[in-house]
Chain A
Amino acid sequence: MITLYHFFFLTITILILVYMYRVFRGPTVYDRILGLNGISTKAIIMLTILGSLYERLEMFVDIALGYAVLNIIGGLAVGKYLEQKRTREC
């Protein structure tokens, strides 16, 4: 049975593809990082919507919480690394 939540899931998948365009195309490496940050935020939202779809929100919310913490640590680490590396080319 198709519900509205399937539609939400599909929309977020399409949005992730749009961000993937920016990640592959981006002129500088910082555009790619911003795109990846957007993708991981969408993945957190997608996990909670999947939890509602499968009626097991408690389990999926735990995964989303862990994913949020990983996303934050990873984005901050890459940002600090690039700041020290002095990369000019891309």
Chain B
Amino acid sequence: MLTVDTLLIFIGLFFLTVAAIGVIRLPDVFSRSHALGITDTLGNFFVLTGVAFYQGLTLADVKIFLILLALWHLNPVISHATLRAALRNGVRPWIKEKK
């Protein structure tokens, strides 16, 4: 029942869940983007590799690899653009209070 593809997807779903918890818990927009970084890299990698293992080697696997490549290269660009807009428009990062 627990084959390679489902195992990989379970690992990926664990990272996706952790990222969602981080997006809720962390205090400001800069920290939340770190939580999204886990989704963008490891979560996507494990889930998409698991789906690629599901049917054996077909042409769809090459396309899944293309999706993964696009996401890995261009999601950092999106979060960089968003955060640069935030910083230039006066959003200040949350800083821990000195105790």
Task: Give the B-binding residues of A (Cβ under 8 A).
Answer: 4, 8, 11-12, 15, 18-19, 21-22, 26, 28, 30-31, 33-35, 37-38, 41-42, 44-45, 48-49, 51-52, 57-58, 61-62, 64-65, 68-69, 72, 75-76, 78-80, 82-83, 86-88
**Interface majority SS (helix, strand, loop, mixed), chain A:** helix
A31 cross-chain contacts in B, Cβ below 8 A: 29, 32
A22 cross-chain contacts in B, Cβ below 8 A: 23-24, 32
Task: Give the A-binding residues of B (Cβ under 8 A).
Answer: 1, 6, 9, 13, 16-17, 19-20, 23-24, 29, 32-33, 36, 39-40, 43-44, 47-48, 51, 54-55, 58-60, 63-64, 66-67, 70-71, 74-75, 77-79, 81-86, 88-91
Q: Give the residue name and chain of the A residue nearest to B17 (CB).
A: A15
Q: Answer whether A19 and B23 are a contact pair too, CB < 8 Å, given A30-B86, A44-B67.
A: yes
Complex Cα gap A49–B91 (Å): 37
Q: Is B23's CB under 8 angstroms from A38's CB?
A: yes
CB-contact partner of A83 in B23, B67, B78, B85, under 8 A: B85
